[in-house]
Amino acid sequence: MSNAVLKLADLPKAQPFVLSEEERHEIEHALGHYPDSRAASIDALKAVQKRRGYVCDEAIPVLAEAIGISAADLEGVATFYSLIFRRPVGRHVILVCDSISCHLTGYDELKGELVKQLGIQPGQTTKDNRFTLLPICCLGACDRGPALMIGDDHHGPVEPADVKKLLEAYA
């Protein structure tokens, strides 16, 4: 057995979060559009998510400073807004509506088929990092339920029999 003692200084250090030029530019552009800088919060979070897939904890204070609001306020927005991902996700995020209209039009069957085809439960990512499956409340497509989104694409109504072919379109 090794007698080596792991010191705190030996542990890998977390990389500081630095905004890219593109991200900073996009945030400044958004700030120019709103009289209250707070209103640019979601644009700023999306600017990071678009390029990195999700918004890590370290990004919050950096973004808050860029916008000119407190980190606690920005954390609140990031937590409340379900389209901002706070943990790594797969290449394609599937958001399945679990609100009332979609429940009445076949949500359970649709979710069951997604779980079967993907081999994961809601909240999980496939081993090949291709898909993350997440529940979401109303996507605003209640007349086309059961509805889901894959990335930015809306789909609905989606029958369980459609799922396999639909997933094949997302490599």
- Cβ closest to ligand FES, residue 63 vs residue 147: 147
Q: What φ, ψ does residue 3 adopt, rounded to 5°? A: -95, 0
Shortest spacing between CB 151 and ligand FES, in angstroms: 17
User: Across the strands, what pairs with 44?
Assistant: none
Shortest spacing between CB 105 and ligand FES, in angstroms: 8
User: Across the strands, what pairs with 135?
Assistant: 96
- Cβ closest to ligand FES, residue 90 vs residue 146: 146
- Cβ closest to ligand FES, residue 69 vs residue 158: 158
Interacting residue with ligand FES among 97, 110, 134, 150 (CB under 6 A): 97
Sign of CA dihedral 152, 153, 157, 158: negative
CB 23 within 8 Å of CB 48: yes
User: Strand (E) positions, 41-166?
Assistant: 92-97, 131-136, 148-150, 153-155
If binding means CB under 6 A, how many residues of this protein chain bind ligand FES? 12
Place of tokens 């996700």: 89
Return the residues of window 2-31 that contact ligand FES according to CB under 6 A: none
Helix, strand, coil percentages, rounded to 5, for the chain:
45, 10, 45
Shortest spacing between CB 81 and ligand FES, in angstroms: 17
Map residue 134 onto helix, strand or coil.
Answer: strand
Shortest spacing between CB 117 and ligand FES, in angstroms: 20
Return the residues of window 103-162 that contact ligand FES according to CB under 6 A: 138-142, 145, 147
Shortest spacing between CB 134 and ligand FES, in angstroms: 14
Place of tokens 């890219």: 20
Binding site for ligand FES (CB under 6 A): 97, 99-102, 138-142, 145, 147
